[in-house]
């Protein structure tokens, strides 16, 4: 077993430290140039589109842009946004935060591209009258590679539906035990029942939960960070100067500039998931008049995740004078930083935050798996088996020690991302043409642009738009 763990750790290090980071940065820059930095040019449009309400079609209420945004945000905004930032600072110094910001801006273009493609190649769900889609669907339907599509579907189902959810439940159980003394078995039983209620309720219940839980949890956490920032307002200039200066001339104690760039890049990419292939599964569920709408909304999600939530965590840690010599990292360092500023009540607040962040991730992660199980078959028995496995992994994670499961999930996620990045590189031109069409309609005075498949040079694989809808 130890040999297997060492092999998994070795390949993780190679993929995450070199191959994947290089691909994500290079392609993020390429997509930014091809879209003329759509993630910056159309920021106001992203905010406007987020306000679009639920649409109806044939008497059926569909998932709105905001609900799809919340499903994806529920998955990517998790405990990694709290604990992971502390780890990044300790490993790469304050400069890692600067490179995390840079990667977020670059990666938002990849997020736009993959989510626009997910909308273009989404398919109708005959049972719910809604939509589903994602990389497995555009790889099969447009690129015509069933084997690569099946590989992606398996990787994301295992990674998000099973492995990551066991890690999230593990984090919740440990946090409740440490703060309130709740036995991990009791915490696991409660969490398992709660997860089952949401998971067996299907996409509509997940969308409903996410649409109120995500704004609440993000707002509470940002408010907590804002209080600390205001308490230390005179130290903000020095903190920002440290972030920028350490980005280009970091202390040798943290490994030099290479460590700052690599740590910041890895944390940003792992957190916001831009280009990884997970978010498009949520983007495809939205009922919108044009694919570009979800591309823009999900690009905004990258900014929310990294520039807001991750930055909030960075402020909490960096405004704590003794963070470098505390001898702690991860969630323990954040908790120490909070208690030093706000007292013992901060431990309770952080546990509440951890619960909300982790539980919302369980719901969002599950849906990614569900969408890809349905890629193989729409028979309810397969979905039932998958739901039972997810609930079982939530229960298992609550009481187990999971370093190997976490490493395995990292490896699967890296492989999944590589498959998706190759696919969106090959299909990117269709997202660019869709963006051009959207911009031309807006320039012509069309308030609500409508997508017509004939605008694309290649209409192969399009099922839910135009005459194929």
Where exactly are the structural domains of the chain?
A: 2-51+61-456
Predicted local distance difference test score (pLDDT) of residue 77: 75
Could you tell me how many helices (H) and strands (E) the chain has, helices first? 21, 4
Q: How far apart are CA 285 and CA 278, in angstroms?
A: 13
Q: Is the pLDDT of residue 130 over 70?
A: yes
What share of the chain has pLDDT > 70, as a percent? Answer: 88
Band of residue 392 on the pLDDT scale cut at 50, 70, 90: very high
**Range of lowest pLDDT (26-35, 256-265, 370-379, 390-399):** 256-265
Predicted local distance difference test score (pLDDT) of residue 258: 57
**Range of lowest pLDDT (66-70, 154-158, 302-306):** 66-70
Neighbours of 22 (CB within 10 A): 11
Band of residue 142 on the pLDDT scale cut at 50, 70, 90: very high
**Range of lowest pLDDT (103-112, 118-127, 440-449):** 118-127
Predicted local distance difference test score (pLDDT) of residue 420: 94
Q: How far apart are CA 213 and CA 195, in angstroms?
A: 14
Phi-psi region of 340 (alpha: psi -120 to 50; beta: other; left: phi over 0): alpha
Place of tokens 């999930």: 409
Alpha helices (runs of H) in 181-201, residue ranges in sequence order:
184-199
In this structure, CATH architecture of domain 2-51+61-456: Up-down Bundle (1.20)
Indicate the helix (H) or strand (E) that contains 61: strand 60-61
- Name the token pair of 10: 């070795």
CA 280 to chain centre: 10
Q: Is the pLDDT of residue 426 over 90?
A: yes
Q: Is the pLDDT of residue 252 over 50?
A: no
- Name the token pair of 57: 């079609």
Q: Is the pLDDT of residue 16 over 50?
A: yes
Mean pLDDT of the chain: 84
Q: Is the pLDDT of residue 253 over 60?
A: no
CA 391 to chain centre: 21
Would you call 196 exposed, middle or buried from its count of C-beta atoms within 10 A (0-12, 13-18, 19+)?
Answer: middle
Q: Is the dihedral of CA 71, 347, 307, 266 positive or negative?
A: negative
Band of residue 257 on the pLDDT scale cut at 50, 70, 90: low
Backbone angles phi and psi of 207, in degrees to 5: -65, -40
**Range of lowest pLDDT (362-371, 376-385, 401-410, 452-461):** 401-410
Place of tokens 């600072």: 89
Residues whose CB is less than 8 angstroms from the CB of residue 208 and which lie 6 or more positions away in sequence, other chains included: 67
Residues whose CB is less than 8 angstroms from the CB of residue 220 and which lie 6 or more positions away in sequence, other chains included: 352, 353, 356
Q: Averaged over 368-377, what is the pLDDT?
A: 86
Q: Averaged over 139-156, what is the pLDDT?
A: 93
Q: Is the pLDDT of residue 134 over 80?
A: yes
Q: Is the pLDDT of residue 178 over 90?
A: no
Q: Is the pLDDT of residue 53 over 60?
A: no
Which three-class secondary structure state does DSSP give residue 13?
Answer: helix
Q: Which of 388, 430, 406, 417 is nearest to 151 (CA)?
A: 417
Predicted local distance difference test score (pLDDT) of residue 170: 83
Predicted local distance difference test score (pLDDT) of residue 432: 97
Q: Do the bridges between strand 123-124 and strand 56-57 make them parallel or antiparallel, or are there none, so unpaired?
A: unpaired
Predicted local distance difference test score (pLDDT) of residue 259: 59
**Range of lowest pLDDT (259-273, 300-314, 348-362):** 259-273
Band of residue 398 on the pLDDT scale cut at 50, 70, 90: confident
Cα angle 77, 261, 23 (rounded to 5 degrees) comes to 75
CB half-sphere exposure, 137, CA atoms < 13 A:
34
Size of the chain in residues? 469
Residues whose CB is less than 8 angstroms from the CB of residue 329 and which lie 6 or more positions away in sequence, other chains included: 86, 87, 90
Predicted local distance difference test score (pLDDT) of residue 90: 83
Predicted local distance difference test score (pLDDT) of residue 229: 94
To the question of pTM greater than 0.85 for the whole model, the response is yes
Cα angle 215, 79, 47 (rounded to 5 degrees) comes to 30
Q: Is the pLDDT of residue 221 over 80?
A: yes
Predicted local distance difference test score (pLDDT) of residue 402: 65
* Partners of 451 in beta bridges: none
Q: Averaged over 83-92, what is the pLDDT?
A: 80
């Amino acid at each position: 077993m130890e040999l297997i763990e060492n092999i998994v750790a070795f390949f993780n290090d190679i993929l995450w430290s070199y191959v994947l980071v290089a691909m994500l940065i290079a392609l993020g820059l390429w997509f930014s140039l091809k879209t003329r930095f759509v993630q910056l040019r159309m920021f106001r449009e992203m905010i406007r589109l987020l306000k679009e309400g639920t649409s109806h079609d044939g008497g059926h209420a569909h998932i709105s842009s905001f609900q799809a945004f919340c499903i994806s945000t529920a998955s990517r905004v998790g405990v990694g946004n709290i604990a992971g930032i502390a780890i990044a600072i300790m490993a790469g110094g304050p400069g890692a935060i600067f490179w995390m910001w840079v990667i977020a801006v670059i990666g938002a273009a990849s997020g736009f591209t993959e989510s626009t493609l997910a909308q273009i190649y989404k398919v109708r769900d005959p049972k719910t009258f809604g939509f589903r889609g994602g990389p497995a669907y555009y790889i099969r339907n447009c690129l015509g590679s069933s084997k690569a599509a099946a590989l992606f579907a398996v990787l994301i189902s295992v990674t998000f539906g099973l492995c990551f959810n066991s890690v999230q439940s593990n984090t919740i159980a440990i946090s409740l035990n440490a703060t309130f003394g709740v036995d991990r078995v009791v915490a696991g039983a409660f969490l398992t029942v709660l997860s089952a209620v949401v998971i067996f309720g299907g996409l509509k219940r997940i969308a409903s939960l996410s649409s109120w839980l995500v704004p609440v949890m993000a707002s509470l956490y940002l408010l907590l960070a804002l209080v600390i920032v205001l308490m230390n307002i005179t130290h903000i200039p020095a903190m920002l100067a440290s972030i920028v200066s350490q980005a280009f001339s970091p202390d040798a104690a943290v490994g030099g500039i290479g460590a700052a760039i690599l740590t910041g890049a890895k944390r940003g990419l792992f957190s916001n998931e831009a280009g990884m292939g997970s978010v498009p599964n949520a983007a495809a569920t939205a009922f919108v008049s044009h694919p570009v709408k979800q591309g823009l909304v999900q690009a905004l999600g990258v900014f929310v995740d990294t520039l807001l939530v991750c930055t909030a965590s960075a402020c909490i840690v960096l405004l704590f004078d003794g963070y470098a010599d505390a001898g702690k990292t991860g969630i323990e360092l954040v908790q120490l930083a909070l208690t030093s500023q706000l007292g013992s009540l901060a431990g309770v607040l952080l546990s509440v935050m951890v619960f909300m962040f982790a539980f919302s991730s369980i719901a969002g992660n599950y849906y990614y798996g569900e969408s890809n199980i349905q890629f193989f078959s729409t028979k309810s028995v397969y979905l039932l088996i998958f739901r039972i496995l997810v609930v079982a992994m939530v229960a298992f994670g609550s009481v187990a020690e999971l370093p190997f499961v976490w490493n395995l999930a990292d490896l699967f996620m890296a492989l999944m991302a590589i498959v998706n990045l190759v696919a969106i590189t090959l299909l990117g031109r269709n997202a660019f043409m869709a963006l051009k069409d959207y911009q031309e309609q807006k320039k012509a005075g069309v308030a609500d642009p409508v997508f017509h498949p004939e605008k694309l040079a290649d209409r192969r694989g399009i099922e839910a738009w135009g005459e194929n809808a």
